[in-house]
Structure 1
Amino acid sequence: MPLRRVSAAYLAQAEELRDNVQQWAAYESRGNCIVLAGPGSGKTKTLVLKMARALAEDVRAPRGIACITYSQECTRELTRRMESLGLRESSRLFIGTVHGFCLRHLLIPYGRLANLGLPDPITVSTTDHSQQVFLRVRARLFGEASTHRKIDMDKHRRIHLDRAAPSWREFEELATLAEAYEEALHHDGFVDYEDLVIYGERLVTQHDWVLPLVKACFPMLAVDEYQDLGVGLHRIVKRLAFDGGVRLFAVGDADQSVYGFNGADSSLLHDLAERPDVECIKLKVNYRCAEAIVRVSERALGEFREYRSYDPDRQAHIDLIECPDGLTQQAKWAIEKIIPAALRRQPGRQIGDIAILYRNAGIGDVVAGAAADAGVSFIRVDTSAPYRKCAITSWVEDCSAWCAGGGRDAKPMLQGLIDRWLAFHRLPLADNNARIHIKKLTEFLWSHRENRSAWYFVSAIREKLLDNLIAGNACLVDQAAQMDAMTRALQVGGILHDLDMAGLGGRDGSPDQLNLLTLHSAKGCEYDVVIMLGLDEGTFHWTNVQGNDLLESRRLFYVGVTRARDEVYMLYSGWNENRGRRYYSGRLRFLEELNAD
């Protein structure tokens, strides 16, 4: 029996897990638990209900649960699902990225006590400023002609956390560059996102006194998408769980590990799952994909996983389409042929149920051009998007959605917007200052309940609320840069100038807009219809790719196929272009294994 009042929604939804033996076992687990969850297996639902139960039955107030996930998009989805159960972010529930957890719950409260040597106050550098520091240091050390890249230096910092180990100096120039870069950045009074995890890990692993303090706040730690989160988080998790007594509940799928270029290592998930003091549960039922798509996806992966569709009789449509004239023809074929047919095929289907997936933003430019030429409205999620998703930009989008009409259906919930607003100020709900901030926010939202231009709304919310917040919070410097990018995109002449408030509120998905995403951005998403473009050797990956890079490329292809509920279209041309030359390297090698022609 629950120890205190719980959400009726949580109890009702929990009963839905009972018929799935593996989901129910995860829900009933009492100790450390790792859930290995294939595509469409209901892992997010299982994770959310497990956290809801733990908050209701196991973790007594004022203590809480910290839930760490990979990206801002994942954070947003988990937050919405918890809100639907009547549970919101508060001092008892943290949902955020590993960087956010390290900053808010490790470095800010304990960093100065541990004499970590970080700037005080901790101010996160903007991406542009970090790049400028890197270029300055690189030129000083190795000359203007140096070809060292920041992405390589950051990966070295991310993977080799022990600076005393021989592996740190395995690539001597990268190690020297990293040390000089960090010294220069800190001298300027800033840290970067890599620092947050690096120093968070040092704090936890080198200072025993921190462990009971973290456990006192968060006796349970939940981790989503564990396979993508890297060495730093893995060390933090092991230290908190197995030395600090924090209970661990983590979900992940090594087959969907696609961030090796960022330092992610899928073997870390298996390392946890194989421990004798951890219960390992595997989810086998795919609630998303039709049976034919499940079977094709296993051929795409090159491994048999014994997954099965929840609805084995549901029909699927799978097609490989050759477009010999290249990417432009692929994009045009998708927009003008596939999408209209898919909309006709299923009554009630909307264009928001369809996604076009591709390898990189360059292909996204081609697709966006074809969609614009055809008058198709779209949402784009890749590196060419007008601004990067972060906590503040996502919150502004949700405020816009509420004012434009979403508030009538509690989508999003007003209380959730308030909780996130207070979290920016790091204020508990009962604080007297919190009441002032709540009043300002609710008055603003209530007075802007109309669907005007997004530019008008963003200008107003910045003037009345956000600019003062950002000016007084050094931790929000990088997020302020993304708010500036959003503002530029919405102003006259900007790429999103014609957007209204409802459109801004639907920037993470709208029934009336086609979804354009990179394959990496599509992780965690699902659509009725998935169209994959650029499936050619030399376009999807280098023609000479091998080893771990080839395995990761295969997993990325697998991720794309498994986003689809009912229909998958795979388009190729048989050639690729590089520096103006055409290379007939053939279609993607994984297509040869599908036997779906």
Structure 2
Amino acid sequence: MEYDVTPERQAYLDAHGYTILTACPGSGKTTSIVKKLLAVSRYCEEHYGRHTGFACLSFTNKACAELKQKYREMHDERLVFPNEVLTIDSFIMQYVVLPFWYLCDACKKKPMVVNEEEILERIYYNNIQIKGKWQQYPVMELRQYAKLIYSKKPSLISIEMTGFKWNHKVVINANEEAYCKAAIIYRLSEGFITSGDALWMACYILKHHQEVSKALVARFPYIIVDEAQDNSELHFEFFRLLKSAGLQNLEYIGDICQSIYGFNNARPKLLQALMAEEGWNVLPLSECRRSNQRIIDLYCKLKPNDVPAITSHGVEDSGIPIVVYKYDDSNVRDIIRDFYQVCDD
């Protein structure tokens, strides 16, 4: 696999410590990460020992599979121990929650992740036979919140750093807060957790048991977080706790303009705030290999002014006009038909 080393890319390849890489669309971000990983594995072995490696984390299994495949193509070898390419959820479960769940006071059984709303909802009810008929009642721990449990499903409750959310909305009513707390405590005690619960548990464990944080940092002295613009507040807290425990190499890679998980608590503004903090080496990848400059200039009208300017790199401009579609429910099919016709032409 060919890799064009430009000054921007070389600056990232050479960077260690605390780095934020802002990568525009089409900049070759994934390929640059893969290019660097081989050197990072050798860096870990040389500076921290043969038992140590990097953890390269992303949000989806598909993204992780792409990283592994490109690594094999570029370096002609597989990613193996002691290095890991995992989703953030898998990393948290494998290295914090499953081995140390008992350090979370609310968790009374080895946890199992259940994200399906329909399945999660069932744990909050008991089936009781009355006069030959089976009827469903809330578990005893939530019986006092009988009115709330039917209007606000407990399966949609999540726990955050400073409180609770129901269906991604902050809960401020005192009675509803008590209900949310009881629901979370009950499902943790029964060993059923969501991915969000697992993240909160991981932060709780790292915060109250620094020996776990330090052991994790000793095992993974270099952590790369891909698609960092989609981190939630708890994600940033998790990595902050590792940094406080001695993590010396942490990279956030992303683009605040490309956040797509706002519905799932993504906080791109927190990444933007980190970029202004002292101690972080902020580097750009601003050369787009996907679009010509006219398309880029149109896109740049929509991005914040403090995001680095984007330039087209090696893309020939064939002079084809840019087409902008305005759509509503009545013309979607017409637009798709016209789009295909434009492409054919």
Q: TM-score w.r.t. structure 2 length?
A: 0.81
Q: Give me the whole-angstrom Cα distance separating, in 2, the residues matched to 1:268 and 1:181.
A: 29
In terms of fraction of residues, the more strand-rich structure is: 2
Please say which of residues 313-322 and 26-35 is displaced more in the overlay. Answer: 313-322
Q: Give me the whole-angstrom Cα distance separating, in 2, the residues matched to 1:187 and 1:116.
A: 9
Q: Give me the whole-angstrom Cα distance separating, in 1, the residues matched to 2:114 and 2:310.
A: 44
* Secondary structure in 2 matching 1:66: strand
Q: Which residue of structure 2 lines up, in the alignment, with residue 66 of structure 1? A: 55
Whether contact under 8 Å (2:284, 2:308) holds in the other structure is: no
Closer/same/farther in 2, CA of residues 302 and 238 from structure 1, 3 Å limit: closer
- How far the C-alpha of 1:111 sits from its partner, in A, is 3.0
- How far the C-alpha of 1:237 sits from its partner, in A, is 1.0
Closer/same/farther in 2, CA of residues 214 and 322 from structure 1, 3 Å limit: closer
Closer/same/farther in 2, CA of residues 37 and 176 from structure 1, 3 Å limit: same
* Secondary structure in 2 matching 1:61: coil
Whether contact under 8 Å (1:118, 1:191) holds in the other structure is: no
Whether contact under 8 Å (2:106, 2:189) holds in the other structure is: no
Whether contact under 8 Å (1:133, 1:181) holds in the other structure is: no
Matches within 5 A, 1:359-508: none
CA offset digits 1:298-323 (Å, max 9, x no partner): 12336474211113642354213456
Q: Which residue of structure 2 lines up, in the alignment, with residue 81 of structure 1? A: 70
Whether contact under 8 Å (1:158, 1:263) holds in the other structure is: no
Q: Which residue of structure 2 lines up, in the alignment, with residue 222 of structure 1? A: 224
Q: Which residue of structure 2 lines up, in the alignment, with residue 30 of structure 1? A: 16
- How far the C-alpha of 1:149 sits from its partner, in A, is 5.7
Q: Give me the whole-angstrom Cα distance separating, in 2, the residues matched to 1:330 and 1:31.
A: 48
Q: Give me the whole-angstrom Cα distance separating, in 2, the residues matched to 1:253 and 1:145.
A: 39
Q: Are 1:318 and 2:322 matched, yes or no? A: yes
Closer/same/farther in 2, CA of residues 317 and 116 from structure 1, 3 Å limit: farther
Matches within 5 A, 1:146-157: 146-148=150-152, 153-154=157-158, 157=159
- How far the C-alpha of 1:208 sits from its partner, in A, is 1.4
Q: Give me the whole-angstrom Cα distance separating, in 2, the residues matched to 1:144 and 1:245.
A: 43
Whether contact under 8 Å (2:53, 2:221) holds in the other structure is: yes
- How far the C-alpha of 1:115 sits from its partner, in A, is 4.9
CA offset digits 1:414-433 (Å, max 9, x no partner): xxxxxxxxxxxxxxxxxxxx
Closer/same/farther in 2, CA of residues 147 and 117 from structure 1, 3 Å limit: closer
Counterpart residue identity of residue 280, structure 2:
V
Q: Give me the whole-angstrom Cα distance separating, in 1, the residues matched to 2:154 and 2:245.
A: 34
Counterpart residue identity of residue 152, structure 2:
H
Closer/same/farther in 2, CA of residues 42 and 172 from structure 1, 3 Å limit: farther
Segments of structure 1 that go 5 or more residues without pairing to the other structure are 1-8, 346-597
Q: Give me the whole-angstrom Cα distance separating, in 2, the residues matched to 1:188 and 1:30.
A: 43
Whether contact under 8 Å (1:159, 1:263) holds in the other structure is: no
Q: Are 1:141 and 2:131 matched, yes or no? A: no
Whether contact under 8 Å (1:119, 1:190) holds in the other structure is: no
Q: Which residue of structure 2 lines up, in the alignment, with residue 107 of structure 1? A: 97
CA offset digits 1:269-319 (Å, max 9, x no partner): 123323322211122211112212111111233647421111364235421
Q: Give me the whole-angstrom Cα distance separating, in 2, the residues matched to 1:139 and 1:327.
A: 45
* Secondary structure in 1 matching 2:291: coil
Q: Which residue of structure 1 lines up, in the alignment, with residue 255 of structure 2? A: 253
Closer/same/farther in 2, CA of residues 126 and 276 from structure 1, 3 Å limit: closer
Whether contact under 8 Å (1:63, 1:216) holds in the other structure is: yes
Counterpart of 1:282 (choices 263, 269, 284) is 284
Counterpart of 2:113 (choices 110, 124, 142) is 124
Q: Give me the whole-angstrom Cα distance separating, in 1, the residues matched to 2:171 and 2:52.
A: 42
* Secondary structure in 2 matching 1:143: helix
Q: Give me the whole-angstrom Cα distance separating, in 2, the residues matched to 1:251 and 1:289.
A: 21
Q: Give me the whole-angstrom Cα distance separating, in 2, the residues matched to 1:115 and 1:338.
A: 54
Counterpart of 2:202 (choices 173, 196, 200) is 200
Whether contact under 8 Å (2:27, 2:289) holds in the other structure is: yes
CA offset digits 1:484-532 (Å, max 9, x no partner): xxxxxxxxxxxxxxxxxxxxxxxxxxxxxxxxxxxxxxxxxxxxxxxxx
Q: Give me the whole-angstrom Cα distance separating, in 2, the residues matched to 1:38 and 1:319.
A: 22
Q: Which residue of structure 2 lines up, in the alignment, with residue 235 of structure 1? A: 237
Q: Give me the whole-angstrom Cα distance separating, in 1, the residues matched to 2:96 and 2:303.
A: 38
Whether contact under 8 Å (2:22, 2:253) holds in the other structure is: yes
Q: Give me the whole-angstrom Cα distance separating, in 1, the residues matched to 2:26 and 2:154.
A: 35
* Secondary structure in 1 matching 2:210: coil
Q: Which residue of structure 1 lines up, in the alignment, with residue 132 of structure 2? A: none
Q: Which residue of structure 2 lines up, in the alignment, with residue 40 of structure 1? A: 26
Counterpart of 2:35 (choices 27, 35, 49) is 49
* Secondary structure in 1 matching 2:160: helix
Closer/same/farther in 2, CA of residues 210 and 187 from structure 1, 3 Å limit: closer
Q: Give me the whole-angstrom Cα distance separating, in 2, the residues matched to 1:132 and 1:33.
A: 44
Whether contact under 8 Å (1:204, 1:210) holds in the other structure is: yes
- How far the C-alpha of 1:261 sits from its partner, in A, is 2.8
Aligned residues: 320
Closer/same/farther in 2, CA of residues 103 and 329 from structure 1, 3 Å limit: same
